Structure 1
Amino acid sequence: MFRITTRWLLSISLMFAFAVPLQAAQLTQPSFKESWQDVGEAHLKVFWFDVYNAVLRTPTGRFDGYDAPLQLCLDYQRKIRKKMLLDETRKHLNPLATQAKVERWMLELQQMWPSVKEGDQIAFQIDEQGKGHFFFNQTWIGTMKDPEFSPAFVKIWLGRSSMFPELAEKLRGGQ
């Protein structure tokens, strides 16, 4: 009887040991903020190619800085391979951080980003704690560990020295 009870208790304990962390992980998964207010929107076209439509949203409808809560949504208008997304991102992050940091960030992005096709959306959301979360078609795909990543990443689109300054100004709501 003791042996059966011990096995039974061990089985139940193992079941809870795996179930509780899984449940906790699901509870901490960030949610896509659909109710945030638009700050600005813009369309990127390179030569005759439509690339994406971009929308910046915040809880207040105002752009309050690169590390304040915000959501940048890119709605892709064409097919782009994951490698090309990563290469372009690396190119734009290089002037904003050390090479070692950029390489660490790129390893994380490589694990979470997919290739995109027309109609797909990649969104980046900075929460109240400054953590950066990625969503693919409004489904969470990962969180960046380094708090310095979030402001650097959004400066690609929103920074005053962005590669597309007119797009950045439109997204910031004319600021």
Structure 2
Amino acid sequence: MKLLILALLICTGIVQASPVQDLQKVGDARLKVWFWEVYESSLYTASGQYNAKNYPIALQIDYLRDISAADLVEATAEQWQKQGLDDKRTSPWIERIKALWPDIRKGDQLIFRVDNNQKGRFYYNQEPLGEVEDTDFAPAFLGIWLAPNTEYPKLREKLIQRSDQ
């Protein structure tokens, strides 16, 4: 009977499945800038191992402070510039995330999940925000945390469990 009720709740949308429930945690890390704790991040894959070319993959970010959507978008653009991505390439992505991302409050969660089709979907507090269909977006966005040239290599090491892949 309990399973039937749970199935009905899920089917009616009252209880929603987590975007990472079918994945395994690879690692997690906390970003601290000077003396401010910004967020706790976790990386998930199907196998529980990180390989940059394997999907599905999800990055979950649990925020430890308030951050405006404009500041999030600006920080994302700055990270892409630091990684050498061309503004012409990233401009459409910036416009898309401006349209998707809300202001963040302490305790909020963003998840970016990339499925086998390499299209990414954002979730805000477990609710879908929308997709970015450009298959180049996902590796560029995840690269902010996972690329070898990330600004935060220690965070990367913790997320991927020091995998060199």
CA gap of 1:75–1:50, structure 2 versus 1, over 3 A, is same
Q: Does 1:86 align with 2:73?
A: yes
Q: Partners of 1:117 and 1:47 in 2: how far apart?
A: 20
Which residue type is aligned with residue 141 of structure 2?
A: F
| Match of residue 37 from structure 2 | 50
Shift of 1:68: 2.6
Whether the 8 Å contact between 1:96 and 1:152 is mirrored in structure 2 is no
Shift of 1:60: 0.8
Structure number having the greater helix percentage:
1
Which residue type is aligned with residue 85 of structure 1?
A: L
Matched length:
146
> How do 1:16-95 residues align onto structure 2 when only pairs under 5 Å count?
32-65=19-52, 68-94=55-81, 95=83
Q: Partners of 2:63 and 2:134 in 1: how far apart?
A: 26
Question: Quick one: which of 120, 123, 127 aligns to 2:111?
Answer: 123
| Match of residue 173 from structure 1 | 161
Which deviates more, 147-156 or 86-95?
86-95
Whether the 8 Å contact between 1:67 and 1:150 is mirrored in structure 2 is no
Secondary structure of 2:130's match?
strand
Shift of 1:67: 5.7
CA gap of 1:97–1:66, structure 2 versus 1, over 3 A, is farther
Shift of 1:96: 4.5
Unaligned runs of 5+ in 1: 1-30
Q: Does 1:164 align with 2:149?
A: no
Unaligned runs of 5+ in 2: 1-17
Secondary structure of 1:161's match?
coil
Whether the 8 Å contact between 1:67 and 1:151 is mirrored in structure 2 is no
Give CA deviations for 1:106-127 in whole Å, capped at 9, x if unaligned. Answer: 0000000011011000110110
Give CA deviations for 1:11-36 in whole Å, capped at 9, x if unaligned. Answer: xxxxxxxxxxxxxxxxxxxx713231
| Match of residue 123 from structure 2 | 135
Moved over 3 A (4+): none
Secondary structure of 1:114's match?
coil
Whether the 8 Å contact between 1:66 and 1:154 is mirrored in structure 2 is no
Identity among equivalent pairs (%):
33
* Rg (Cα) greater in structure: 1
CA gap of 1:47–1:66, structure 2 versus 1, over 3 A, is farther
Which residue type is aligned with residue 121 of structure 2?
A: H
